[in-house]
């Protein structure tokens, strides 16, 4: 009987893991320091929560910061041949415009804007120039480890992107190809950026997936494995290898989903305090509220799905300055050796929480001479978090606040702007719980031309597309439900067009 689930979340300071039963109860949990090679921490965390009867585990879901760290640190990225289908209309802005030069140098194996593109109603702007595409691909040759293809309005009609993918296979052989219509929504430049990042991250997430699969094999776990996505839903590891960019925001999204499960709330402000940073997000209909604006990642503007967050450099490992200022520097994973209460010489916000009586850790007597400075840092940290909560709100008035994350012991039981404060049991591993309980989802974002009497058919087609994507991500097709459906009429067009966004979610299927 497969009635247990494992969730793992790899953070910058700690790696958390939980084992849940079929009802969502916590059977076991652990928190271990994240190692320089995160796969070691994954193995340690998995070992700590694994049951004796491993055949009872139905699935393992992992959330990770590997992708975002690779972008920020410019390491482990593939060299990408960038093809934009949109000449002559889009030549005024070159591909990768606005990218930091060091990131562009690390990623780009060559860029081309070729003739092609489609109109909003699916007609060709100009026919695709296959000869131009083939010549460019032959030119980059072995210098390209991956290909990123983005076309004008390709989410509405991907046929030109698919044709270029076929040309890439003929010219370069079995090189991984990322297609813009599968990654971002409308908005050419941001979608192109997200597609290039996706192509560049293939090796990074491939190593994570391989490491997880090896760890599971070592423990004789013969169950499916998933990676968490930016919206708090999982995707099968095979799909994660194809769409690694969709894992970038999985950590905060897992925390929001975990907060929902632990608190029983569907609408709330979630404050996740880690060892290095604090993320303030909004729980809407049981899922993280998504950002409606483009998201900048490592200096690059993108438009893929990301939680709408207010992030601040404040956590349990934040170093307290001589003037009582908290952060932004942090001791990170060295908290248990460097903090005052653990015998170290560095005053941190964890020491401040001990000084205020909010945490019972280490040797409380060691904070004595620094007490006033630590309490001042704690006061400033509370003000910073209260400001972040206000910035996350979309309406006036107080809202329920759920505190999660190991560092949330820094905060009091009353927070300005909160109608009530929930600090549920197991709050310190909410991110891993969010991963373990994840429901698979699919999203469709289209512009459709509504013919007379054709509205219902258009909405059904978009919903069916979202259902197909949810099943591809691992959802049970017999238990899908529509989370939300948005329909926005578009002005200034010579055809009756609307933008339709649909999200469908369901429990992961048993296989």
CATH class of 78-200: alpha beta
Q: How many CB atoms lie within 10 A of CB 468?
A: 14
pLDDT tens profile 203-249: 999 988 888 888 888 888 989 899 998 877 888 888 899 999 988 87
| Cross-strand bridge partners of residue 108 | 80
Region 78-96: mean pLDDT is: 96
Radius of gyration of the chain (CA): 24
Residue 41: what pLDDT? 85
pLDDT tens profile 336-357: 899 999 999 999 999 999 999 9
Residue 25: what pLDDT? 93
For the chain, how far is it from start to end, CA to CA, in angstroms? 13
Tell whether the model's pLDDT for residue 256 goes beyond 70.
Answer: yes
Residue 1: what pLDDT? 72
Per the structure block, which two tokens stand in for 354? 């001990």
Residue 404: what pLDDT? 96
Residue 284: what pLDDT? 87
Per the structure block, which two tokens stand in for 60? 């393992």
Q: How many CB atoms lie within 10 A of CB 344?
A: 18
Per cent of the chain over pLDDT 90 is 57
- Indicate the range of 9-13, 21-25, 426-430, 465-469 predicted with least confidence: 9-13
User: 84: phi > 0 → left, psi -120 to 50 → alpha, else beta; which?
Assistant: beta
User: 439: phi > 0 → left, psi -120 to 50 → alpha, else beta; which?
Assistant: beta
Q: What pTM was computed for the model? A: 0.82
Residue 411: what pLDDT? 94
Tell whether the model's pLDDT for residue 482 goes beyond 70.
Answer: yes
Region 35-62: mean pLDDT is: 89
| Cross-strand bridge partners of residue 63 | 9
> What whole-number distance in Å separates Cα of residue 463 and Cα of residue 421?
37
Tell whether the model's pLDDT for residue 511 goes beyond 70.
Answer: no
> What whole-number distance in Å separates Cα of residue 82 and Cα of residue 150?
8
Bridge-based pairing state of the strands 146-151 and 80-87: parallel
Q: Where are the domains of the chain?
A: 78-200, 311-430, 439-506
């Amino acid at each position: 009987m497969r009635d247990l689930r494992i969730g793992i979340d790899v953070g910058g300071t700690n790696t958390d893991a939980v084992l849940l039963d079929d009802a969502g109860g916590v059977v076991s949990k652990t928190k271990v320091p994240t190692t320089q090679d995160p796969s070691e921490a994954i193995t340690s965390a998995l070992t700590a929560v694994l049951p004796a009867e491993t055949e009872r585990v139905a699935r393992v879901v992992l959330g990770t910061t590997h992708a975002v760290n690779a972008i920020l640190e410019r390491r482990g990225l593939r060299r990408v041949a960038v093809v934009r289908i949109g000449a002559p209309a889009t030549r005024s802005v070159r591909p990768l415009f606005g990218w930091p030069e060091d990131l562009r140098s690390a990623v780009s194996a060559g860029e081309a804007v070729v003739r092609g593109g489609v109109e909003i109603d699916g007609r060709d702007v100009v026919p695709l120039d296959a000869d131009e595409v083939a010549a460019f691909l032959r030119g980059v040759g072995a210098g390209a480890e991956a290909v990123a293809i983005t076309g004008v309005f390709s989410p509405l009609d991907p046929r030109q992107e698919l044709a270029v993918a076929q040309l890439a296979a003929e010219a370069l052989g079995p090189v991984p190809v990322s297609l813009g219509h599968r990654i971002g929504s409308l908005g050419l430049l941001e979608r192109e950026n997200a597609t290039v990042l996706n192509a560049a991250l293939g090796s990074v997430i491939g190593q994570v997936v391989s490491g997880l699969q090896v760890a599971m094999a070592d423990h004789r776990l013969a169950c499916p494995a998933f990676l968490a996505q930016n919206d708090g839903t999982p995707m099968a590891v095979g799909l994660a290898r194809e769409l690694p960019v969709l894992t970038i925001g999985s950590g905060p999204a897992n925390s929001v989903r975990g907060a929902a499960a632990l608190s029983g709330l569907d609408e709330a402000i979630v404050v996740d305090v880690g060892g290095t940073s604090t993320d303030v997000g909004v729980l809407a209909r049981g899922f993280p509220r998504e950002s409606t604006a483009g998201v900048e990642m490592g200096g690059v503007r993108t438009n893929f799905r990301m939680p709408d967050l207010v992030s601040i450099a404040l956590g349990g490992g934040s170093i307290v300055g001589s003037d009582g200022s908290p952060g932004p520097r942090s001791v990170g994973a060295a908290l248990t050796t460097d903090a005052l209460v653990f015998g170290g010489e560095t005053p941190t916000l964890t020491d401040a929480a001990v000084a205020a009586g909010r945490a019972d850790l280490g040797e409380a007597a060691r904070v004595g001479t620094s007490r006033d400075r630590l309490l001042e840092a704690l006061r400033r940290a509370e003000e910073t978090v209260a400001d972040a909560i206000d910035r996350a709100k979309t309406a006036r008035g107080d809202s329920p606040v759920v505190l999660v994350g190991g560092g949330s012991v820094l905060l009091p039981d009353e927070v300005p702007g909160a109608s009530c404060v929930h600090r549920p049991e197991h709050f310190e591993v909410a991110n891993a719980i969010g991963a373990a309980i994840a429901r698979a989802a699919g999203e469709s974002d289209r512009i459709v031309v509504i013919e007379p009497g054709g509205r219902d058919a258009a909405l059904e087609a978009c919903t069916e597309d979202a259902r197909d994507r949810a099943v591809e991500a691992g959802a049970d097709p017999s238990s899908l439900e529509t989370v939300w459906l948005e329909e926005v009429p578009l002005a200034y067009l010579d055809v009756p067009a609307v933008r339709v966004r649909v999200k469908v979610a369901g429990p992961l299927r048993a296989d």
